[in-house]
Amino acid sequence: MKRQYLKAILQSLVIGYFLTALSLLTLAFLLYRFDLTETPIRVSMIVTYGAASFIGGWYAGRKLKNREFLWGLVAGLSYYLIHAVLSTVLAGVMPQGIVPVLSMTLICGGSGMLGGMLCRPETSRAEKQKKSL
């Protein structure tokens, strides 16, 4: 049972980081092509992190099918925790250049929770028939 939870959270993190990589590559191309200023870059990065947490929370809630909001929150906070640790280890500083830590934690956690709340877990035909009786 615990393996199922861990697997769903890890899968949601992989999906979130894949979407983040795609978004940041697109953003880098736009920066190169159109010589954007700092403000749109910052906003785009915040939106990217929030969207990745939302999708990860949605996926985790959909896979686990109970307490979806809680699993969405866990996915969002895990996403930011891994991001902060990797940024600190690789760059040697906390990732405060874009948004302060508390704000980014709330954005990622809240986005993940919202994704978990908005997911509709799949129900099997047997479960639907039981509900209709």
Parent domain of 109: 2-132
State the Rg of the chain over Cα.
Answer: 17
Mean pLDDT of the chain: 86
pLDDT on residue 70: 92
End-to-end alpha carbon distance in the chain: 29
Q: What is the pLDDT of residues 30-84, one digit of tens each?
A: 988 988 888 888 899 899 999 999 999 999 988 988 888 899 999 999 999 998 8
* Mean pLDDT (whole number) for 109-124: 83
Both tokens of 22, joined, read 């795609």
Q: Which of 115, 45, 54 is nearest to 79 (CA)?
A: 54
pLDDT band at 87 (very low <50, low <70, confident <90, very high): confident
Whose tokens are 């039981």? That residue is: 130
- Looking at the 3D structure of the chain, how many domains does it have? 1
Neighbours of 39 (CB within 10 A): 8
Give 101 or 120, the one with higher predicted confidence: 101
pLDDT at 105 over 60: yes
Full-model pTM: 0.83
